[in-house]
Structure 1
């Protein structure tokens, strides 16, 4: 797939996206989709080596990487500044960076862990949105896509802190869509279980059982979310804002998730 992106000959769209948490998994799937259609991207992540590898796969002429922690305000400012320096614009922001360091009931949740989850998953998304708004979008427009989760729209056993943060992210989407209109469209994507290292605790060792609950017969792939993000940052979605697109393989047709 990497070679297809690099050798596709896709014309330069002139558009630029900043994608957080994109050295692998869903974020990388989004980066691949946008690069394939001709966009240039800045990707962020905590692991500098993983970022370098991702940039090489995407194409050094199409991508740059900025390492840092998503919740760090200085990192947010640097990532946006580097994007502007390298490409002169930042049309799209995809807030994908997230964490879920705990798996268990809410009754036993360490409140400090809850604060960390909220800081990384929600406050960082707001920080990046503020930075891109000030640097480019407030004068030139664009689109923001927040990667939420089905856990944010329905109770999901043992990932309550994560779901709580994603519900807040969906509300953040509504608030920003209202405040940033008409120049900037803001939407969210709520994936069900996608086969990534991040989500493996939800399916590892019981993938057949988990998959059986999905009407479409498989778990998600990063490219499924990448395609949705490409749509929400395209002209075909120019009259869509403040919405949450559920990408779930049909799981909501059944009683439970996962």
Structure 2
């Protein structure tokens, strides 16, 4: 476990799932952490779970640039600076043909996943450029980021493809500065976001569950490695990916020998 010298890390969407897992792992590596969520109640609950005086949080609507700026200001007022900013906040839409996805869901996904990442990147890049030593911005990849296609994933996939372009643009924009940018890819993780995609399609979930159990992992398996890689990164434009093509291939080859259920209750 590496020391971070008390680096300050902001994790948007840090009240549950991968975001909360990352916050926990950053704290375990001596970082000071600021999380945000959509409500004060969610933030307070997450902070209680983290149970650290090196953690703080603020209810933040990431689709509102002023609110994201307030999150940056809160982090600086609390811990003095921001060294790492992780744009993790994200939503998914119900799976299905595009015309069947409710318009409100389309707007929510695009606003949180794309506008949220744009706001976080803009605020963080501006703030880091003005502070000594700069800092790191990490944008969270997801299905569609690298051109993957699957029926029923038009809205979410398009949003993540947009985030990929944004991150590539940021890498070029911040070249030869103290602001560094990276791609963060957690792979398939058993979270409410993943399971929620199939709320109205339990039969569909049963069909893909076998593949998820081969390729997927739990939050507590993935986030320690991701946090370690983020804090140890040096190369501008680096991509931290948990599920590589090689790892996926090995898992398929050994699937008959390794029975896994990433969705099973930990108490089972």
Q: CA deviation at 1:179?
A: 1.1
Matched positions, count: 244
Tell me, in whole angstroms, the C-alpha distance in 1 between the residues paired with 2:33 and 2:126.
19
Deviation at 1:21, TM superposition (A): 0.5
- Within 2, Cα distance between the matches of 1:76 and 1:252? 41
Q: Cα distance, 1:127 vs. partner?
A: 1.1
Partner of 2:40: 48
- Is the contact made by 2:186 and 2:226 (CA closer than 8 Å) also made in structure 1? no
Q: Report the CA distance between 1:42 and its aligned residue.
A: 0.5
Residues 28-65 of structure 1: CA deviation (Å, up to 9, x unaligned) = 01111111101011100013222112112223411111
Deviations 1:50-97 (A, max 9, x none): 211211222341111100221112210111000000000100011111
Q: CA deviation at 1:123?
A: 1.6
Q: 1:150 aligned to 2:146?
A: no
Q: Aligned Cα RMSD in Å?
A: 2.9
> Normalising by structure 1, what TM-score?
0.82
Deviation string, structure 1 residues 145-176 (Cα, Å, up to 9, x no partner): 11121332201221210110001111111111
| Corresponding residue of 1:180 | 174
TM-superposed CA distance for 1:242, in Å, is 5.0
Match in the other structure for 2:259 = none
The CA distance in 1 between the partners of 2:81 and 2:142, in whole Å, is: 28
Structure 1 pair 71–56 and aligned structure 2 pair: CA distance change class (3 A): same
Which residue does the alignment assign to 2:121?
129
Contact 1:213-1:251 within 8 A present in 2 as well: no
Q: Give per-residue Cα distances to partners, 1:169-207, cap 9 Å, x unaligned.
A: 111111111112332221222344311112113567577
State the TM-score, normalizing by the size of structure 2: 0.79
In structure 2, distance between residues paired with 1:73 and 1:93: 15
Corresponding residue for 2:106? 114
Structure 2 gap segments, 5+ residues each: 253-268
| Pair 1:85–1:22, CA change in 2 (3 A) | same
Is the contact between residue 225 and residue 247 of structure 1 (CA under 8 Å) also seen in structure 2? no
- Flag structure 1 segments of 5+ consecutive residues without an equivalent: 1-7
